């Protein structure tokens, strides 16, 4: 379904992503972990074509994504939604308008300038917001919402794109534990109910272990681990993060349950 071949991104002397290769054969939820600067964000940005790869190829259903230009590239971007750490909403516009931005690829510039979205789209936007539990916020400005609510608006915008793949770049890094859980559960539900592929950069191990079917570990631009959450032992994690024996998962955990749990849970709440 998705195949990444020897994908490399160099910024001058520095190589952010160094010949990364992996294959995904069915929609699943993938967590990408690694230290900051390991190339996780660059990898996701290349998948969305926000930035161009230096060499290598990304194939989605047999089509090479890296060579798309102009309208073809924008069409791919509309099928491959992106969620950002800082939400990246338009703060002064209302929530529904922000969600409707997910349809921009299908609308002309003139129609969007005059806010002429079809009624069916508006209704669908509100239904998506309702699915994420924030329909009451529909007419408010995006900037008036809390961080967790804003991230759910961003997820709603992504769902409005009706994408095959959802990329999430540190979706919970600026949220408190409670909101982080809501957002992660929403992403998991989208994967399970809609069958969309979700690839998320995560900065905490336990989140990756708890919500993902597959974990990819990156270090200095290289993929150093690719396996199931069960294979992700503390020793492997130490390798990925280049940490010493003092490394403890619980020390940085944002999961509330960590406080009274010693073993990682594998069960995922639906």
Interface positions with other proteins (CB under 8 A) = 96, 114-117, 119, 122-123, 126-127, 130-136, 138-139, 148, 178-179, 181-182, 185-186, 189, 270
By C-alpha distance, which of 116, 143, 138, 111 is closest to 127? 138
Do 106 and 71 meet the contact criterion of CB atoms below 8 Å apart?
no
* Nearer to other proteins (CB atom), residue 75 or residue 127: 127
For residue 239, the minimal CB distance to other proteins (Å) is 34
Query: What tokens does 177 get?
Result: 């534990």
Question: Is the Cβ of residue 5 or residue 107 nearer to other proteins in the bound state?
Answer: 107
Q: Which residue has the tokens 């007419």?
A: 139
214-219 and 55-60 as β-strands: parallel, antiparallel, unpaired? unpaired
CB nearer other proteins, residue 52 or residue 136:
136
Nearer to other proteins, 185 or 249 (CB): 185
For the CB of residue 139, give the shortest distance to other proteins in the complex, in Å. Answer: 6
124 or 209: whose CB is closer to other proteins?
124
Strands 165-169 vs 197-201: parallel, antiparallel or unpaired: parallel
Q: How far is the CB of 60 from other proteins (least distance, A)?
A: 30
Cβ 123 to other proteins shortest distance, Å: 5
- Helix axis angle, 147-160 to 177-194, nearest 10°: 20
At closest approach, how far in Å is the CB of 146 from other proteins? 9
**Closest approach of Cβ 148 to other proteins, in Å?**
7
Which CB atom, from 130 or from 143, has the smaller least distance to other proteins? 130
Residue 216, strand partner residues:
32, 226
Are 215 and 232 contacting, i.e. CB atoms less than 8 angstroms apart?
yes
CB of 225 closer than 8 Å to CB of 217: yes
Considering the complex, what minimum distance in angstroms separates the CB of residue 211 from other proteins? 14
What is the rounded CA–CA span in Å between residue 228 and residue 226?
7
- Can you tell me whether residue 97 is helix, strand or coil? helix
- Kindly tell me which of 91 and 133 has the beta carbon lying closer to other proteins: 133
Distance CA 44, CA 212 (A): 16
Distances (CA, A) of 224 to 34, 56, 152: 10, 18, 31
């Amino acid at each position: 379904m998705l195949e990444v071949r020897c994908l490399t991104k160099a910024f001058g002397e520095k190589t952010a992503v160094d010949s990364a290769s992996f294959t995904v054969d069915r929609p699943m939820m993938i967590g990408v972990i690694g230290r900051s600067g390991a190339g996780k964000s660059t990898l996701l940005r290349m998948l969305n074509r926000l930035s161009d790869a230096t060499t290598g190829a990304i194939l989605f259903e047999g089509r090479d994504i890296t060579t798309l230009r102009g309208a073809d590239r924008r069409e791919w971007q509309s099928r491959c939604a992106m969620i950002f750490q800082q939400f990246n909403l338009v703060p002064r516009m209302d929530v529904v308008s922000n969600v409707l931005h997910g349809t921009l690829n299908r609308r002309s510039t003139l129609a969007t300038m005059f806010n002429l979205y079809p009624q069916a789209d508006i209704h669908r936007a509100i239904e998506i917001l309702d699915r994420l539990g924030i329909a009451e916020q529909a007419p408010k400005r995006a900037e008036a919402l809390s961080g967790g609510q804003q991230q759910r608006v961003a997820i709603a915008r992504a769902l409005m794109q009706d994408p095959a793949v959802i990329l999430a770049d540190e979706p919970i890094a600026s949220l408190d534990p409670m909101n982080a859980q809501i957002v992660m559960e929403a992403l998991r539900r989208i994967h399970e109910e809609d069958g969309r592929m979700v690839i998320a950069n995560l900065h905490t191990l336990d989140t990756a272990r708890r919500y993902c079917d597959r974990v990819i570990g990156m270090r200095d631009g290289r993929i150093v681990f690719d396996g199931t959450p069960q294979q992700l032992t503390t020793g492997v994690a130490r390798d990925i993060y280049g940490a010493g024996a003092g490394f403890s998962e619980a020390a940085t955990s944002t999961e509330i349950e960590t406080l009274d749990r010693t073993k990682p849970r594998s069960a995922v709440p639906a």
